[in-house]
Structure 1
Amino acid sequence: MTCIPAIETRFFAFESDFVDSLRCIPMIVRYKLDACRVKLQLADWAKFNYDEKDLLAEMRCHTEPEIEIYADYVNELVWKYTKTVPGLLKNLDPAWIYEHVPEEVHERTRGWNCPLISTSQWMQLDVLERFALVKLSRSGHEGRNFPRALAEFGLAAAC
């Protein structure tokens, strides 16, 4: 049976410039999308109304039945607005569950001239914080939020 760590719905301070309107996909939703392996495009997200976006942030997505219900709901929403279905993530690398800091996080940290994160610091972060740092380290994500996340998580002052 598939099961992912249960995560309470929360938004990060580094997301504050868009979380009131939910114009971008918050990390809590990204985490749940990865759990059900659905690749949701920002253009599709933008078509959802606020209540639908908020429900996606609040819905449980922990056990196999919850993951299936979540994926079905996302698919229904995308179909409702686009008459297409979202793609599936092919290779999910859950680097946030590793007991060591992923190299991509170290690379991004060096790129911002921030102090490297130690293994003990990494393990003190909760799953959603580690997930956020991994996602913010990958190409295609807005880089300015990475140092803001480090500061929010107590890993670096302004860098």
Structure 2
Amino acid sequence: MNTTSEIFQFEKDFAGALYCIPMAVRRKLDLSGVKVSLKQWNHFALDEREQMVAQNCETSSEIDDYGRYVVAVIEKRTHQPAQLLERDDGSEWNDTQSVPQRVVDYSIECEVAPPTAAQWARLTPLQRFAIFKLTRPGHSNENFVPAMREFKLIQ
């Protein structure tokens, strides 16, 4: 499996059987600008979920194809129109030059050392996305510290 389709250890309990939306899919959804609720996700067939994990979503055409695929699955399975969002270009989490301030602040709040710029730069885009996503305001983000450990950012 390539690193853009990886299911991390910290999410195996809930995403390994694809009952919940794994970070790999969340990243692709953000890139393609399609919102999928957990309720919608649970209407999808297992092979459709697996396709959403495995399908490439890196180039402009792959991102467009991914978005079209997800919209079609939503409409087929829920009989409702898909909700489209502004596409996330990844500028905050994809910048390898500096750790986003939100990650630094959340690390301090969790009483763990924030990633250094060198550590952040070594992470894969999916790992950076996961860490960034796990610092969302208003969410419990209980997997932030396990993700930091898994990615060897803390011990």
TM-score norm. by structure 2 comes to: 0.89
The separation in 1 between residues aligned to 2:138 and 2:87, in whole angstroms, is 16
Q: Contact 1:135–1:141 (CA<8 Å) still a contact in 2?
A: no
The SS at the match of 2:112 is coil
Matched pairs, number: 152
Matched to 1:107, the amino acid is D
Paired residues for 1:111-126 under 5 Å: 111-126=109-124
Equivalent of residue 19 in structure 1, options 15, 18, 25: 15
**Sequence identity of aligned pairs in percent?**
37
Deviation at 1:89, TM superposition (A): 2.1
1:123-157 CA-partner distances (Å, limit 9, x unpaired) = 11111110100011113544210000000011112
Q: Contact 2:34–2:85 (CA<8 Å) still a contact in 1?
A: yes
Runs of 4+ more than 6 Å apart: none
TM-score norm. by structure 1 comes to: 0.87
Instruction: Identify unmatched segments of 5+ residues in structure 1.
Output: 1-5
Paired residues for 1:1-159 under 5 Å: 7-90=3-86, 92=88, 94=90, 95-98=92-95, 99-139=97-137, 141-157=139-155
Q: Which moved more, 1:99-108 or 1:133-142?
A: 133-142
Instruction: Identify unmatched segments of 5+ residues in structure 2.
Output: none
Q: Contact 2:102–2:135 (CA<8 Å) still a contact in 1?
A: yes
The SS at the match of 1:75 is helix
